[in-house]
Chain A
């Protein structure tokens, strides 16, 4: 991704901005929001065991953008699904704010996905029947009972419009996903992931399906969210140039993470 270079100044780590990040944060390190330790995961294929993750260790520091880089097929998405509790590891543990979530109850995991984290995917995964604003509203609708949602639907709508405004898409609120471009869809997906004010955003190749320029716009948006709202982001990518701009970087190779390089310390 050579074209990315000229846009890189927009994507500087937030830690370098003295106005937004108090210096004290470098002294008192907040506990990591997400920790994974010794994760093993293999898939069964016709009585043949295909190991995908073989002892992954990972920490996502609060308030940072953590990049996880690896070649296609190295198991990044698999790991992200485990972190989002969409799947369970064969062994190892995952902690969110110090609490085990990989073996939590179904209801707890549903609530975790709904409230504590936001997820975005390479292929956006918007619901095609719903308009942009309805897609943004979806996590709130899912999180509340019909009645509770109905009582607060005005505020919910306002918040959804604010989120769309935040990603610069308020004027497309009533458009269906198929009427949006790839970049606009991804921005809608970002607005959706922010709807329930999560403390962690998991992004699986958010730019993987976009051209360089649009991809950079998305990265800029994510960086802005990190800087302005202190959103913690785990960004999964196969692109080293994107990974290089993150606050810290983890490399995945053959199902094992290599090196934990917090940028500030390096």
Chain B
């Protein structure tokens, strides 16, 4: 009993012990905050990565892809049984994106994906990352009138409305250009100067209706980087028949969804405000170049109309993906067998029922399609993001080790403090022994003192840490206001708030760990107190 009484009294009357409590508290709070934020980040990342990738991805290395995907799908369903919840086939092809921006050409390397919007949304999240609210619920590859990204203030005008204005502007610009051209010719003619090369020649050639080829035939012309709007590769939004004339104000090329970072950049202006700059937007036309599926691959040069943008929050995805309709891409690439009329795909994506063992399913598929026979690459989403996930895990581990070192430092603080207290209490230890206290009894005073420091410190630290985590976003806002520095830079992260997850088990670990450290630190001083010669202690003045 006296142990507890004295232990509590020492705790209350020694302010130096408060310093130890504070150091334990800070360590625990930091550990909890950092772990929660890291867990939040990791979970958010898992969520995003998993949402974007399907559970299992089967890629065919061959450029022609795998023919007859229906049969393959049936085979896979046979292997996995009722574990399969959904499946989607798609064509992935590396491509070059060309954007005309103020008369300049911007080129980007992208992954062009031909998807079946219907089934694709079932195996991975796609629609919900589109900007137009109607596309979010029902993806359509036709341009919408307007209403893109309604919740965004600074999103520029987009859609048919914008396209018509753009067409009108281009027409006026062209007229003006021709007028200047004519005047120039006339004046040169009068001055007897040689004629400059007519820019009209090019356009005439391309605008020649006879030269308007069928879809996919653009490859024959080779890659042309001219981005004057023309109907050279025109195909209706329905992938249908080519028309003789193309009017930008009323017609569109095949629809394409661009990853938002392929055609925009997020910058911070001089005042520190974050702004998005769009090189193209829904309603603009872009050019795509990609190989076709034939034996000696040629480049297909195809124009698309941007019908929506895709923003998942994962910069890796947002800056490399572009989506078009599967059947159109198959057509452009020549992936349709002219005789049997079967279509090839390069990729099969599977979604399994919740809780299914992905690795087991992957291994079963790998056994069904041995790599030395089939040129298939079968991966789970975790395999694909392995390095990233491993990096985050490693980061968390290292941070934890470093932060536990902080608590260890606090432990040494406790050790020093306790030695001081034991020396200070020498006389009292002698008194206690004279009153019949045993060595272990005296020891337990200081041990329980250490445990108490750990418990109180980590208790307060836990509460503080949890409160901090709870209000981390308002705290970040306050810090931003005070320092003028953005804590959570939206040009770097795509989260608009700091994600946090508190794992109870982590908290338990942190608390036990710090109590253990505090206890260990008090063992040596406590032993010293227990071993103290009572006579020396009583003579001590």
Contacts and interface: CB of A to CB of B under 8 A. Distances in A.
B435 A113 contact: yes
Given A125-B427, A134-B5, A143 B436 contact: yes
Contacts of B437: 110, 114, 142
A115 B437 CA distance: 11
B427 A86 contact: no
Interface in B418-461: 427-428, 430-439, 441
Given A121-B538, A125-B430, A127-B431, A142 B2 contact: yes
Interface in B500-541: 533-535, 538-539, 541
Chain A contact surface mostly: helix
A233 interface: no
Contacts, number: 77
B178 to A, nearest CB: 100
Interface stretch (A3-11, A144-152, A255-263): A144-152
B314 interface: no
Interface string A101-116: 0000011001111110
Contacts of B270: none
Contact of B432 (A111, A142, A144, A146): A142
A139 interface: yes
Interface stretch (B6-14, B21-29, B406-414, B478-486): B6-14
Contacts of A212: none
A86 B538 contact: yes
B439 A106 contact: yes
Contacts of B9: 129-130
A110 B427 CA distance: 18
B13 A129 contact: yes
B435 A87 contact: no
Contacts of A134: 5
Contacts of B535: 81, 86-87
A115 to B, nearest CB: 7
A130 B5 contact: yes
Contacts of B428: 125, 127-128
Contacts of A123: 541
Given A86-B535, A128-B428, A113 B2 contact: no
B2 A138 contact: yes
A6 to B, nearest CB: 33
A150 B534 CA distance: 28
A167 interface: no
Nearest to A116: B436
B201 interface: no
B438 A106 contact: yes
Nearest to B534: A86
Nearest to A153: B1
B438 A107 contact: yes
A141 B538 contact: no
Contact of B436 (A125, A127, A142): A142
30 contacts: A77-B539, A81-B538, A86-B534, A86-B535, A87-B533, A87-B534, A110-B436, A111-B436, A112-B436, A113-B434, A114-B436, A121-B434, A121-B538, A125-B430, A126-B431, A127-B6, A129-B6, A129-B9, A129-B13, A130-B5, A138-B2, A138-B435, A139-B436, A141-B1, A142-B2, A142-B436, A143-B436, A144-B1, A146-B4, A149-B1
Given A127-B428, A141-B5, 14 more contacts: A81-B535, A106-B439, A110-B437, A110-B438, A112-B436, A113-B435, A125-B431, A129-B10, A138-B432, A141-B2, A142-B435, A142-B441, A145-B1, A149-B1
Give the 10 A-B residue pairs with the shortest CB-CB distance, closest first: A114-B436, A129-B9, A141-B2, A113-B436, A141-B1, A125-B431, A149-B1, A86-B534, A146-B1, A87-B535
Interface of B: 1-6, 9-10, 13, 427-428, 430-439, 441, 533-535, 538-539, 541
